[in-house]
Every structure is written in structure tokens, then in C-alpha cells.
Structure 1
Amino acid sequence: MEYQHLRLASGAHDRLAARRHDEAWLEDRWADPDTQVLVVAGTRVHPVDGRIPWVSPQDAPDGLRVLLGEHDGRSWFAVITGPEASVEAKDEWLPLRGLLPHLADDTLASAPLVFHALGLAEWMWVTRFCPRCGEPLRPRASGHELACPNDHVQFPRTDPAVIMVVTSGEPGSDDERCLLGRQAVWPEGRYSTLAGFCEPGETLEDAVRREVLEETGVVVGDVDYFGNQPWPLPASLMLGFIGRAVSTEIQVDNVELDDARWFTRAQMKAEAEAGSLVLPGGVSISRSLVEHWYGGPLPGQW
């Protein structure tokens, strides 16, 4: 079974870290008409005809040039400009979350490149001053480092987040159930897998157990790795797991969640077909976790 979130993360480009300080090489690649450039206004991109627009260097505006790397025999850059264009036409310039449907249909399979570009753009947008001395930061290494006048260097950060489908009962049996939850701000019927951030000094497996216990009161024993997905919204890596419950009584925290339910496969299928259960979209690892447990595709999505 092919999972769309894994397809979006496939086809990794060569990031060419050793070339980020090589100004002569960077200029040579920039002069190549086959080089492709993504224009980012602040942290937003303007889709054209439902596609992510890559342009030639000659058609790119002035801005910070960010080397993304090489892929499919070409060099790929981003140019990050000020946010003015996106402010003037906000409905036309979309943040990464709004671009996900376009990436799912992208025949260039450029999602890893877009994730790379917007992850850096988001990081630079919120990282303006040195956390050690308070001096302004300036980009270097083709946008992959920020340094202050005192040469304190900052690097892009990625926060590990766990996302999990929790199961109970005999694996594969008709009465096996999976646990889904919903937030109060979501529309009626929308449920998803549980998720949360890994805390300092914590293993990923223990983060799964803690988050499930905190949000639902369910105790999890065995935890198995499923897969991962870049998720720079703004700076996360989603690590998927399958957890086995050793208790089933639910006591939601009413903070992160306002409801959580156990679903059998028959209940999930019937409610998804009726539209009373709305599951996450296919570009999210959450959908992949649910359909992996269910054993096939399900109707309806956010």
C-alpha cells in the first residue's frame, strides 16, 4: 500500500552542504538557465494554475539566494524576499499548510525541495537576534546559518514530534480497536491520531506513552516505529508510531482534547462512509497510520 505522506517525502535532493560557501560555484550554478528557483515572499509561495511555480534565475527577483541542492540533473535554489508581495495579495500567496494540496498533485515531485525552502524561510523569519548576546543575525552559508557580529552562529532547528495510532485487542481481529481524538476547535465529526512534542531527556517511545496518558488517560505498553515525515509547520519532524494499549478506560484532559474514542474497523468504515467521521487528509502521516491499521483506503478527509 503506497502512502502519500511517504511519497511527498521521497526523492530527496543532494543538499550539497560543502558548496554553501563556494561563491564561484554558486554563481556558476545561478548562471545556468536550467537552474530552478522557488520565489518565497517572507514565508509564502504563490501557486500558479494549481502548481508550485519554479522559475529560471533570470526571472527571479532580488533577495536572499538559498541553495537547496541538486536533483534530477539540475540545481535548485530559493530566493527569499520581503513579505510585501504576500501582504498586498495575501489570498494568492500561501503558507506551507495551504500549499499541501498543490504538493500532493505536483508532477515534479518537488515536495522535499519546498519543505527545505520554507523550513529555512520560517526559521529566518522568527530568528532575528542572537540568543546569546542580542545582536542582529545575518545569513551566511547560502541561508543555512545565521551569525551575529560576535560570531555566535545559529543553525536551523527541527523539533521532533511523535504521532501515533494506539490499538487494543487482538491484532488483526474484528474486535481490535484504535484510539482517535478530537480538539474542541475542530468541526463536528473530525477525529485524528494523537500527537505531541518530545521533551528534553525523553525517548521517542516514552513521548508516545506520556502524550497518550496525558491526553486520554490510556496507558500504552509496546511502541513500534512506523515512519516519519518532514513537517516544517513551522519546524517539526513527525515521527509515526504504533502503540499497544494496556488499559482502555478514557479520561480526556479537556485541554488538548475534548473527546477520544475507540473505533473498530467496522465502526470506522461505516461512519467514514456516512460522513459522520472525518479523517485527516492523505498528505499527513496521520492518515497513513489510520489506513495502515485499518488495512486499506477509507473514504472522506479533511
Structure 2
Amino acid sequence: MQIWGDADLVISCFDRYLNAIEKAAHANGKPILSVATDFDPDVNGIATPADIHNPDFLRAVMVPEQDRLVQKLEEHIGEGRIRFAGLPVRSAFLKEYSAEELAALRAQYQVDPDAQVVVLVAGGQGVQNGYAKLLAEHYRKNEHSSGANSLPKIHLFVVTGKNEWQKKRLDKTFASFDHPLLKVNILGWLEEKPMGELVALAAQPVGVEGYRGALISAKGGGGTLSDAVAGGAPLIVCDRNPISWEQGNIEYVRRNKFGLSFVEKREFVPTLLTLLNSPYKPEVDYRSFHSIERSVELVKELLERNRERLAVSQGEQEKLA
């Protein structure tokens, strides 16, 4: 309870259905700011119609983008309590690299100048579902394809996260793999900076056509997809049995042409090759609407409103005394 006594504002990223924090904040008279980290979250998971009828409960919501989401939320918690704050992006993915810096990164990661960089991720535990092996098998079988069916030159980085067993297994699988058009590196857990560098390489146009690489995500997590979008890397996302609150993220990627999705494993390689042989023309320029300042404004507003509320409450108590 000492924590609640010292707090001026409670910020929560949890779904309200699972969130005892919200109840505790309300019980202790603290304003609460809910932050939606997915692109198209369930409105009822953020606010209920009861919120608008409770003036003592100072609550507001920050959302990533979605005008229609804002309209729905205002029906629940009142006009003016919603702020657009941009998507949850780490600073390393917002860095803009010069041509010289990108060339240095290619040398650092031993990437050929004409290779498209593809980064495969699957959350912190790195469950890859055999995607790297599927791609390698396709390249082996189609090594002599030419013309319209020719294979792009790829440098694949597989990020296994904290899954050491997975990394050891993939290290063994690709220890003797050698193909002139497909180079594979197995990486473990990556900090923000190297991950941002790989995304920058995946976003770099290559060759006469200027086609980019890709980031392949085995799940539709808002953070990973936002990082890739902000960094300019085209996306491939698995849409097989997504977590309910991540379904909107995958739909957002498709709708705004940030990338493609697939459902069955057999669709993975054709989907990736289609993306790698297509120009990247998203519907939205993500860099134009990322701004942490919007978040700061809302925090200040909530704190000021709470101070005003407490002053009124104290004045009423003094009158009664």
C-alpha cells in the first residue's frame, strides 16, 4: 500500500480483464493511464461503458494509430481522454543510416553487397517451426532455376532468442550447409542495437530493382512488428492460430501493405519469394507519426486533473469540518 500512497499516476499495459492493478488504482483514488501496445486491440478490453459514468475515476487511454478505435473508445470513456501516441518502437529501430554506415554494417555481418537480408524471429523463446530448414530445402531443390523462376540471393539471420536448445539444433543442422545463393547465420539472444542493425540491413534496397529484404515473424507481437515497420523492413507474418489480441496486428500489416502473411507451412517459401521480388510500397509512412511527446502531454494532463480533483475534495472536507 505504501507504493500506492506515493504514486501520482498508474500506467498499465495490461488488458483490463486481467488487471487487478486497475482496481487497486481506482480503490486508492489514483488516475490510471492504459497504454494499448497492439495496433487494433479489443475496445472492451480497454474500457467499459461504466467508465464514462464515473467522474471520480480519472482514466485515459493511449492508442497506437487507428481512428476508428478512438471513436469506439470515446463512447466508453468520454471525448478527449484518448491520445494517439504512435506505435511502441525502440530507439535503435528509428536510426537512419547513411550509405557508408550500411556498407560498414554489411562488412561487419559479412553480407554480400548483392544479397537481400532476411531476419527470422519468433519472440524471446525463438520457436522457429522449421522455417529456415524449409527455405534451405527449397534452395537445394531449385538450385539451377533460371529466368522468371531464378532465386534471389539471400543472407538469412535466424534469431533464436533465449532458446539455447534451438540454437544448438540449428547450428548442427546448418554446420555443413553451403549454397551460392543462400547464406545462413544462427544467432542467439540479441540486444536492441544489433537487432536494429539487422532490421536496417533488411530494409536496404538491393540491386537494380531496389528490392528490400524482409523480417519474418512467427507471431504477430506488436513490439516486433512495430520495430520492423519503423525500420522500413518488409514483413512476413505467420497467421496460423494467432493470439486473439495479436490478430489485429497482422491485419494492420496486410491492410497498410507493410508485408504479407501466410497460414500453412507450405505457403511460407512462396510468400517470402513473392515479397523479395516485389517493390515495398506501404500505405502509411510510419516515421511520420511516431512521437513520444504526445504521451508526455497526456501524462501531464492526467496529473493536473487529479490535482484539481484532490483540491476540490479537500475544500469540501474543510467545509464539513
**TM-score when normalising by structure 1:** 0.24
Looking at CA atoms only, which structure, 1 or 2, has the larger radius of gyration?
2
**Structure with the largest fraction of helix:** 2
**Structure with the largest fraction of strand:** 1
**TM-score when normalising by structure 2:** 0.23
